[in-house]
Structure 1
Amino acid sequence: MTFKNRRVLKAYQNQGYFLYGNHTQPVGDVLTPRHISPFKSMYTLASPANLGLPILGPMLTMGGAIIVPDSWRKLREFDRIVKKRIDQKHGIMIYPEAHVWPYYTKIRPFPDSAFHYPVQQQAPSFCVTTTYQKRKFGSKPRRTVYIDGPFLPKADLNKKAQQEQLHQEIYNCMVKRSRSSTYEYIKYQKKGEEA
């Protein structure tokens, strides 16, 4: 895995920030934040379903996963944990596409609500776009990860408009970067469509 443009994070090492990535590696996406900023504590928002993964699931929280609550009752505690990690100057990785599509080379739609926390915390965000290129040897593609940002909520907008603004900026940047993929290891098509 090669990282491009990691230097954009340097000026933000002494504050908390959010990272948004395309979800294309079942296990690799758990480890990517650690490689992006090895000297900063990194956390990843994860679905409760991930706890059921064999072997890896029970260890996720030890590795920095923050489990998204499955009920409204647990939301206040979850909000408190996210705020605490940002206040402690840590990074939080979010995969807004929710479900992993292995080796997918495009960016799937995701909701404005994925940007609730950067707006709530008034924290910078970065996008982390994984792209795929053919190797000279072997069948699995090489991964190149681009880091872009910072993207900051515009103070003159209301909170909902700030979420929309961040969503558009980050989504557009990820779509642009995804065009650096030159190899489709798995071909995805809608059911019923011809290959």
Structure 2
Amino acid sequence: MTTKEQNYELPDDYSWDHTNPVYNLLSKLLYMIVWVVSFCYCRFCHVSIKNRQVLKPYNNQGYFLYGNHTQPVGDVLTPRHESPFKSVYTLAGTANLGIPILGPMLTMGGAIIVPDSWRKLREFDRVVKKRIDQKHAIMIYPEAHVWPYYTKIRPFSDSAFHYPVQQQAPSFCVTTTYQKRRFGSKPRRTVYIDGPFLPKTGLNKKEQQEQLHQDIYNCMVARSKSSTYEYIKYKKKGEEV
């Protein structure tokens, strides 16, 4: 899926860390609204979350969540309900800021925009570290692009695990699966949370990234087998269904 502003670029004066008290107050209010909407969304849109208790021992520290990217709206709302006792920040692409009306409000609701240039990485890195130090959660969709209702796990890069290794913070995988409902055409969603996954001591940083990548990818692939209903069939161009 793409948007009209797919090539949106961050302005040179873009800031990831806001100190304006009015902005921060509005941000807290908006986050509360998003939390209520996420609760209603999961309750009334047939979303159930399993194994959430694995997060409880880590309520007093920051951690990372990794999920398969299959819901344009649900992947924004569901993480707030997966970790209800924490503020959950979601890494998002710059194209999201170009969405009319909602785009500029995303950062107030918890989005951390991934920079489009290496020159802006330093401040971005500092904000990611700050959120983890503040004992918040950061949601990452390493597949990058939304494939609605896709039931398998797509390949992703070792680089997605740079931050858990840099911060030596725990990671969890969040796998959305699909099952047929008794009534209605759209499937029921069951979200499984697994972990923690920790960087192994004795490995260098690159090896730790590879290890986390493999562990989380394998877990998500295993959980994806809980999908029993394919609402949208995907095929390669020119391939018969």
Q: Same fold (TM over 0.5)?
A: yes
| CA-to-aligned-CA distance 1:41-92 (integer Å, 9 cap, x gap) | 1100000011112333221101100000011111000000000000000000
Match of 2:103 among 50, 57, 63: 57
Letter in 2 for 1:181: S
Unaligned 5+ runs, structure 1: none
SS at match of 1:44: strand
SS at match of 1:25: coil
The residue that corresponds to 1:14 in the other structure is 60
Q: Please give the TM-score of this superposition, normalised by the length of structure 2.
A: 0.80
Contact 2:59–2:85 (Cα < 8 Å) also in 1: no
SS at match of 2:236: coil
The residue that corresponds to 1:161 in the other structure is 207
Letter in 2 for 1:125: S
Number of equivalent positions: 195
SS at match of 2:139: strand
Q: Please give the TM-score of this superposition, normalised by the length of structure 1.
A: 0.99
SS at match of 1:175: helix
The residue that corresponds to 1:25 in the other structure is 71
Task: Report how far residue 31 of structure 1 moved.
Answer: 0.9
SS at match of 2:65: strand
SS at match of 2:216: helix
Letter in 2 for 1:167: H
Alpha-carbon distance in 2 for matches of 1:52, 1:6: 33
Alpha-carbon distance in 1 for matches of 2:48, 2:79: 13
The residue that corresponds to 1:119 in the other structure is 165
Match of 1:79 among 121, 125, 141: 125
The residue that corresponds to 2:11 in the other structure is none
More displaced, 29-38 or 77-86? 29-38
- Aligned-residue Cα RMSD (Å) equals 0.6
Alpha-carbon distance in 1 for matches of 2:174, 2:108: 23
Alpha-carbon distance in 2 for matches of 1:2, 1:41: 20
1:177 and 2:223 are equivalent in the alignment: yes
Alpha-carbon distance in 2 for matches of 1:12, 1:101: 30
Alpha-carbon distance in 2 for matches of 1:112, 1:86: 20
Alpha-carbon distance in 2 for matches of 1:124, 1:117: 10
Task: Report how far residue 32 of structure 1 moved.
Answer: 1.4
* Alpha-carbon spacing, 1:55–1:186, altered in 2? closer, same or farther (3 Å): farther
Match of 2:154 among 98, 103, 108: 108
SS at match of 2:64: strand
Match of 2:235 among 174, 189, 194: 189
Letter in 1 for 2:240: E
| CA-to-aligned-CA distance 1:113-143 (integer Å, 9 cap, x gap) | 0000000000000000000000011111100
Quote the sequence identity (%): 88
Higher relative contact order (CA 8 A, sep 6+): 1
Unaligned 5+ runs, structure 2: 1-46
Larger radius of gyration: 2
Alpha-carbon distance in 2 for matches of 1:113, 1:97: 12
1:148 and 2:148 are equivalent in the alignment: no
Task: Report how far residue 39 of structure 1 moved.
Answer: 1.7
